[in-house]
Amino acid sequence: MSVDYAGMELRVFASLAKCNAMIDIHKSGVDFHTMIGAMVSGKDYEDITKEERYRYKWTNWTLLYGGDAYTLYRLYQIPLPEGELIMRKYFNRFPEVPLYLKYCAEFAATHGYVETPFGNRRMLPDIHSPVEWKQKKAEREAVNTPVQGTAGIVLLMALAIIDNMMYEQELKSMLVNTVHDSIDTDIYPGELDTVAKLQVDVMENIQGYAMEYMPQVDMDWLICPLKADVEVGTHYGSLEHYIVGGQNG
């Protein structure tokens, strides 16, 4: 069984940037990239084409990694004028985003490092480099490091709490691995739904469980809801979506 944090880094980014509009999208349950496209372009949600969704998906991930219109051109062949227009409209619609990007760059320039809400730091010695590409790389890392680092720590917190609870409940299933934003478990016969419910509950409600198991850890920064999806199968490549407590094909 694999339980994956859906859109984890996007949710962490929305929380760190305190972007209420993005947080509301995640709360609504609609497709994030499609709704971003609708809100930026001014079109109806239902009228966003598959191609347009991909453009805004690329834009979301580009910003998450500290990129810009040139990144859209270099990686996704979006013409530079179009990419610049998308970015301008995006920033106008979600003004917290450029403010957060600016904050990250300025914090790194002032301190020489960036840090997660948990206090983990990454030194950025090239933030003042006279070599432009090195400085730009450091500025991108100043944006992405707090997001990826925070997401990784949240997953490890959930992993530790789940391990503790499975031991307390004398479950025989075994945690075996983490892959990016997911937790992989070897399921003992008859325990699938029990373990799936436990893991989804902990992962989606990590703030509450952290207060009980890790009261010294500050989780007040997390203002966006988290979502965990379950897949099961006999091996990698065979995983299929699993509805916890429901009927599955």
Q: What is the pLDDT of residues 110-121, one digit of tens each?
A: 999 999 999 999
pLDDT digits (tens, 9 = 90+) for 198-228: 999 999 999 999 999 999 999 999 999 999 9
Check: pTM over 0.75? Answer yes or no. Answer: yes
Is 60 among the domain residues?
yes
Those residues whose C-beta lies under 8 Å from the C-beta of residue 133, and which sit 6 or more positions away, are none
pLDDT reported for residue 244: 87
Q: How far apart are CA 181 and CA 5, in angstroms?
A: 5
Q: How far apart are CA 216 and CA 185, in angstroms?
A: 28
pLDDT digits (tens, 9 = 90+) for 130-152: 999 999 999 999 999 999 999 99
pLDDT digits (tens, 9 = 90+) for 58-68: 999 999 888 89
Is 184 among the domain residues?
no
Domain, as residue range, for 86? 20-93
On whether the CB atoms of residues 55 and 78 are closer than 8 A, the answer is yes
**Total domains in the fold of the chain:** 1
pLDDT reported for residue 249: 42
Is 89 among the domain residues?
yes
Q: Token pair 């051109």 is at which residue?
A: 73
Q: What is the mean pLDDT of the chain?
A: 94
Is 42 among the domain residues?
yes
3-class SS of residue 227: coil
Is 170 among the domain residues?
no
Is 26 among the domain residues?
yes
pLDDT digits (tens, 9 = 90+) for 143-180: 999 999 999 999 999 999 999 999 999 999 999 999 98
Q: How many CB atoms lie within 10 A of CB 38?
A: 21
Per-residue confidence band for 246, with pLDDT thresholds at 50, 70 and 90:
low
Q: Judging by beta carbons within 10 Å of its beta carbon (0-12, 13-18, 19+), is residue 112 exposed, middle or buried?
A: middle
Query: Nearest 5°: CA angle at 121, between 115 and 123?
Result: 110
pLDDT digits (tens, 9 = 90+) for 64-82: 888 899 999 998 999 999 9
The stretch 18-26 carries a mean pLDDT of 96
**DSSP conformational letter for 47:** G
Q: How far apart are CA 204 and CA 183, in angstroms?
A: 13
CA distances (Å), 206 to each of 50, 60, 109, 226, in order?
33, 25, 32, 9
The stretch 80-103 carries a mean pLDDT of 94
Is 237 among the domain residues?
no
Percent share of the chain, pLDDT over 90:
90
- Bridge-based pairing of strands 121-123 and 174-179 is unpaired
CA distances (Å), 91 to each of 65, 68, 219, 220, in order?
16, 11, 27, 26
**DSSP conformational letter for 230:** E
Is 53 among the domain residues?
yes
